[in-house]
Amino acid sequence: MMKDKTIDSRDYLRNYQNDNKCTSLDAFIDNYPTHTAYSHVVTVATQALTPHLLSAVLLDLANYFSPASVRFHHLHKAFGEDVIQIRGTLRDSDNAEINKLIGEVSDRYAIDLGLQASQPSLSTPGLLVMDMDSTVISIECIDEIAKLANVGEEVAEVTAKAMRGEIAFNESLIHRVACLKNIPETALIQIRDSLPLMPGVQSLITTLKANNWKLAIASGGFTYFADYLKERLGLDFAISNTLEVKNGALTGEVIGPIVNAEVKAETITSLARQWQIPHSQTAAMGDGANDLLMMAQSALGVACHAKPVVNEKASVAIRRGHLHSLLYFLDE
C-alpha cells in the first residue's frame, strides 16, 4: 500500500482493522496517509505495541482528533517501550470530555496516552519540579512514621482525604504531625535509609540532566527525606516542611511556614525566574490534589499514578509506565 495524501484517515484505519495486512509498526507508519498541518500531538506509549492496538486507539479518538501523520517518538525503545507520536487536529475543545476519553482509552488498552497542544523540548534547558511522596518515592513518609507510633490507620485516612482534595492540606498536616509526638528521631533514620525510589526515576533524572535541565523537589513532606533525596539523586533544589525535634524525639509540631499547594506553585515561578527558564520549558509532576496548582503553573503538568481528580486536570497522565515516561511527552 502506497502513501495516499488524500485518503481519509478514518477510512484508512477502518480498512486496516478489516484488512490487517500491516504486521509491524514500521509498515503501519510507513503506509499511513501523511498530511502536514496539525494543532495537537497524541503520544502512545506501552510495551510491545501492535499496529492493531494503535489503529484501535486512533479510531476511538476519531470523533475528537483527526490524525495527520504518525511517526516514532525520538525516544522510541530507548527505555524499552514502543512510543508513537501522532500529529493531527483537534475537532472539539471540550477539555472535560476529551480528558475523560483519554482516560477511558488508556485503561481500555493498558497504555499511556497523552494529548498536547504544545510540548517542552528535551534538548533545550528546562525545569522539572516534582512532588516527593508517592512520586519520587513510592511511599508516604508521614504514614510510615505513623505506623511506628501505632497511629498508622488514623494518619493514613487523613492523608488519603488530603490527596483527594477533601480537606485543606494545612489542616491535615497539622493534625497528622500532632499524632507523631514523642516518636524518636532514630525512626526517621530508619525510614530514610530504606526509602523506595519510584521505578524510572534515575533514568528520568539522568536524561534530563544530560540535556541541562534543572531538577527540584517541592514537597508537603519533610526535609529529613527531601534534603536526603536532593543529595542522593543530585537534584538542584528541594523545599519541604521541617519537623521539630527536641531531646531526640518529635514534638508533634512543624517549624516555619507550611509547604502547601500555593508554595509549590510559587516554587515553579521563582526557580524558573532564578534560572532564566522560559515558561514553555517548565514541567511539574505529582500525584495528589495539592500538586494541581503547581501543575497549572507549569507548561506541562504530569500526573503520576495519581488520584482521579489529578489525572483529569493534568496536561498528561502516567497511568501505567515508570517515571521516565514523562520524557515521552517532550519534543526533541
285-298 in b/e form (b: 16+ CB < 10 A) is bbbbbbbbbbbebb
Separation between Cα atoms, residue 82 and residue 53, nearest integer Å:
12
Separation between Cα atoms, residue 44 and residue 112, nearest integer Å:
6
Tell me the one-letter amino acid at 258. I
Task: Please name which of 1, 90, 4, 76 lies closest in space to residue 44, comparing C-alpha atoms.
Answer: 76
Supply angle C-alpha 156, 159, 160, rounded to 5: 90
Going from the C-alpha of 18 to that of each of 14, 56, 183, the distances in angstroms are: 6, 11, 64
The single residue of 8, 92, 94, 133 carrying the catalytic annotation is 133
Active site residue 131: yes
The pairing of strands 82-90 and 40-46 is: antiparallel
The single residue of 19, 60, 94, 131 carrying the catalytic annotation is 131
Residue ranges with strand state E in the chain: 40-46, 65-72, 82-90, 112-116, 127-130, 214-222, 237-246, 249-255, 282-286, 300-304, 316-318
Separation between Cα atoms, residue 177 and residue 174, nearest integer Å:
5
Active site residue 107: no
Provide DSSP, 197-257.
BPTTHHHHHHHHHHTT-EEEEEEEEEHHHHHHHHHHHT-SEEEEEEEEEETTEEEEEEESS
Q: Give catalytic residues, as residue numbers.
A: 131, 133
